[in-house]
Structure 1
Amino acid sequence: MFKVIQVNLHHSKAATAALNQHLHQVGMDMALIQEPWINKNAVMGLNTSDDLVAAYVALPRLNGARLVVCSAYLPGEAPNPSMQLAALVEYCEDQKVPLLIGCDSNAHHTGWGSTNTNQRGEELFSFIMSNNLEIINSGCVPTFVTRARQEVLDITLCSERFANHIKGWHVSDDASLSDHRYVRFDITLTLEKTAEAYRDPKTTDWEGYRASLMMNPRNFGTTQLA
């Protein structure tokens, strides 16, 4: 079993130090990190500053299968998804390689637990659905927390056929010293017969949801426009 942690460090030296200590104490196998600490155009405490980083991971106990793991930061002012992320998803689909994405989406959608849905969220959600990706987020615990607001911005995605290997997705209570909280989950190397809950927007009655939203938007944490 691989232990995975996902977090946006918000370019913070303190958050980077806290993560390094957490990795040492808890013994994580993999970290999906967005917005690392930068000083004079150099990444400090880590080894990359790209908005998207992907790597092959060998899974020897799954008949030598390979997995592409990706950490993606989607800037709020850029198209959603980015061209790089769209190209990676297309590559993995063409190569028939499962893909795991840890992403700071900078977007709202109730499909991954946000309090509301905005245009960026609609665009990313449509991309997710059209590319047979699964949203692993479970529940509505905020991943982004400041004094002014709390929201679910960080999402975990994977190829549909790999979803059953992701276990125990949750937002950690451990202090990250960033405005983003740690997301934790495991990758199992053997399939169990017991079912694991995860968010599956394909089974949601979106027509019913939209009808309920129009009738009583306050129940969904939104404001009705005139």
Structure 2
Amino acid sequence: MAGLRRHRFLQANINHCRAAQDLLVQIFAEWLVDVAVVAEPYSVPGSWLGDDNGSVALLMRSSTDSPPLSLLERGQGYVAAAWGDIALIGVYFSPNRPLVDFESFLEVLARVARRVAQRWVLVVGDFNAKSVLWGSPTTDARGRELETWPISTGLSLLNRGSVQTCVRRQRGSIVDLAFASPSLAACVVDWRVELVKTLLDHRYVRFDVSVQGSQEARMGRSHFPRWSLSRLDRNEGGLCSGLAVAPS
């Protein structure tokens, strides 16, 4: 039986800064990251997948043992792509927009998640929403809206602890979030906020997806399992062995 493999994910916000994007690309290579979600990129190179207005992008490491990152759909503030059995949705929502726009944005994301639900869904990005549920000291209006969003989508929050993902001189916050379908969340290990230089106020967030490696695993799924996370045993590899991210 093939052993467990780890696939590395990176989450960042680089605030449209060229130097920060150059550093991110360097870190991406040094850490052997497989896929990254970049909010507020300086630019979106041709090898990246971006949304409709340049506010979020996805990039992947070129590798012979990795599936392609294939565009599924995109709109303003989101881009969805298939990576093996995973439907990755990168998101960004500006803090300067009104609450009613945020409510509409979450409705759009929920519809996107349902449309790609034949795969395991992974939603990653900067929501600019604060809530005590993911470690913030207070909850704001966007946070209250986002608290109920996983219920409507059947997704699980991946964030752990109270380490701030955005640090400013006066205060910090946790606004860089990740959600996954429960069966995929059971395969996520080592979610953490990296305390390294980024040149900006946002920190890098990293996590791994641990799967049973198999060159014979087939890409794609015909259904979307909606199992309760409380019923899953994280110490068992059975569920994760069905997750195909290697080429057939």
Q: Which residue number in structure 1 is paired with residue 112 of structure 2?
A: 88
> How far apart are the structure 2 equivalents of 1:181 and 1:142?
8
Distance 1:21 1:91, change over 3 A: same
Q: How much does 1:70 deviate?
A: 1.4
2:78 aligned partner: 52
Residue aligning to 1:139: 161
2:102 maps to what in 1? 79
CA distance in 2, matches of 1:176, 1:46: 22
Q: CA deviation at 1:194?
A: 2.4
Percent of residue pairs bearing the same amino acid type: 31
Residue number in structure 1 paired with 2:86? 67
- Structure 1 outlier segments of 4+, above 4 Å: none
**Contact map agreement 2:79 2:90 (CA 8 A) in 1:** yes
Specify every segment of 5 or more residues in structure 2 that has no aligned partner in the other structure, as ranges.
1-5, 56-76, 213-231, 237-248
Q: When you count helix as a share of all residues, which structure comes out higher? A: 1
* Contact 2:186/2:234 (<8 A) preserved: no
Q: Of the candidates 8, 11, 35, which is equivalent to residue 3 of structure 1?
A: 8
Note if contact 2:123-2:178 (Cα within 8 Å) is conserved in structure 1.
yes
Q: Is the 8 Å Cα contact of residues 136 and 163 (structure 1) preserved in structure 2?
A: yes
Is the contact made by 1:133 and 1:157 (CA closer than 8 Å) also made in structure 2?
yes
1:187, distance to aligned residue in structure 2 (A): 0.9
What is the CA–CA distance in structure 2 between the aligned matches of 1:115 and 1:67, rounded to whole Å?
32
Q: How far 1:119 sits from its partner (Å)?
A: 1.2
Deviations along 1:156-200, one digit per CA (max 9) or x if unpaired, are 1101222111110000012111211000000111398528xxxxx
Aligned pairs, how many? 182
Q: 1:192 to 1:176 in 2, by over 3 A?
A: farther
Match of residue 31, structure 1, among 36, 41, 45: 36
SS at match of 2:115: helix
- Give, in whole Å, the separation in 2 of the partners of 1:160 and 1:110: 21
RMSD over aligned Cα atoms: 2.1
User: Greater shift after overlay, 122-131 or 27-36?
Assistant: 122-131
Query: Which TM-score applies when normalising by structure 1?
Result: 0.74
User: Quick one: which amino acid aligns to residue 79 of structure 1?
Assistant: F
Q: Does the CA-based 8 Å contact 2:110-2:152 persist in structure 1? A: no
CA distance in 1, matches of 2:186, 2:104: 24
